[in-house]
Amino acid sequence: MSKCEQCIVRQFSSIKALTKDELIKVANCKTSYTIKKGQPIFEEGETLNGIFCIKDGVCKLSKLSSNGKDQIVKLVKPGELLGQRSMISEESANLSAIALEDMEVCFVPKNEILQFFNQNNDFSMNVMKTICGDLKESDDHMVDMAQKTVKQRLAEALLYLEQSFGTNIDGTIRIQLSREELAGMIGTATESCIRLLSDFNKNGYIDIIGKKILIKDKNTLKKIS
């Protein structure tokens, strides 16, 4: 069993506030498993009986809209926790979490986490700050959707993907979203997203290499966004 106190990703989440003894408790009760690309960690409406810590890989948090489109709300990186809000509000999951690549995930039961919540003030404050941060992001995202054009949102999304997930050796954005997923992230039809990417490519802002995207003119994309 891997030890939580030696896990490098714990420093990126609320778990960093847990004491050594608390981390040993987590290690003794957690379950670690692999999620294959395209598989759900959990789905919208599911009852979550604990929290998930992302050890490796990236997933998308998305919501199915009434027209059957997948609206991507957030991309989640290693070190982040999922399910904190559901655990506190005692409501079922509001979003689905689907793996965008093969992932390593640890699950910690609700009973254990709630104990730390009651005993460790720093931990509970960290959880609250994370939830507040998510709410702020959600507010910003909502304003972007209402006030920015699809072109502006695409430029912003491409910059965000490169900044947050880095690049491959060839300079292309490391996280590879399908055109449908990218469209779901900026809230537009897949055809519109493909057309805009083609425009960006023709204008020399980006290079499209197969399914991969390379940002060539960051300054112009910043101006557009």
Residues in a beta bridge with 206: 215
Q: For the chain, what percent of residues have pLDDT higher than 70?
A: 98
Segment 96-104 mean pLDDT: 93
Write down the pTM of the prediction. 0.85
- For residues 37 and 160, give the distance between their C-alpha atoms in angstroms, rounded to a whole number: 21
Segment 178-190 mean pLDDT: 91
What pLDDT shows up at residue 173? 92
Which of 5-9, 121-125, 192-196 has the least mean pLDDT?
5-9
What pLDDT shows up at residue 21? 87
pLDDT of 170 over the 80 cut: yes
pLDDT of 225 over the 70 cut: yes
What pLDDT shows up at residue 160? 92
What pLDDT shows up at residue 1? 46
pLDDT band at 2 (very low <50, low <70, confident <90, very high): low
CB 154 within 8 A of CB 193: yes
pLDDT digits (tens, 9 = 90+) for 127-160: 888 888 888 888 888 888 788 999 999 999 999 9
Q: How far is CA 59 from CA 56, 88, 161, 200, in A?
A: 10, 22, 13, 26
Most confident of 16-25, 52-61, 109-118: 52-61
How much is the mean pLDDT over the chain? 88
Please name the residue that has the structure tokens 């999922």. 82
Of 15 and 96, the structure prediction assigns the larger pLDDT to 96
Closest CA to 13 of 106, 91, 96, 144: 106
CB 182 within 8 A of CB 213: no
Q: What region does 204 belong to: left with phi over 0, alpha with psi -120 to 50, or beta?
A: left
